[in-house]
Amino acid sequence: MNVVVRKLVAKELYLNRWLMAGTAVAAALAAFACIFGATAFNVGALAWITAVIACGVMLALYGVTQERKENSLQFVLSLPVSIRGYVFAKTAGLMLSYLVPWLVATAAAIVLVLASPGVPDGLLPYVVVLSGFLLANFAVVLCGALHARSEAAVIALIIITNMAVSLFMFVVSALPGIRDHMTGPVPVWNGTIAGVLLVELLVLATAVTLPLATAARRRDFL
Secondary structure percentages of the chain, helix, strand, coil, to 5: 80, 0, 20
d(CA 122, CA 209) in angstroms, rounded, equals 34
Q: Is the entire prediction scored with pTM above 0.75? A: yes
Other C-beta atoms closer than 10 Å to the C-beta of 104 total 20
| For residue 126, pLDDT beyond 60 | yes
Does pLDDT of 193 surpass 80?
yes
Distance CA 149, CA 170 (A): 32
From the list 54, 55, 69, the residue with the least C-alpha distance to 148 is: 69
Which tens digit of pLDDT belongs to each residue from 92-115?
Answer: 999 999 999 999 999 999 999 998
Span of 92-101, 132-141, 148-157 with lowest mean pLDDT: 148-157
Q: Using an 8 Å Cβ cutoff, are 182 and 120 in contact?
A: yes
- Encode pLDDT of 16-70 as tens digits: 999 999 999 999 999 999 988 888 999 999 999 999 999 999 998 888 877 666 5
What does the pLDDT average to over 201-206?
Answer: 96
172 pLDDT exceeds 60? Answer: yes
Band (pLDDT 50/70/90 cuts) for residue 222 is very low
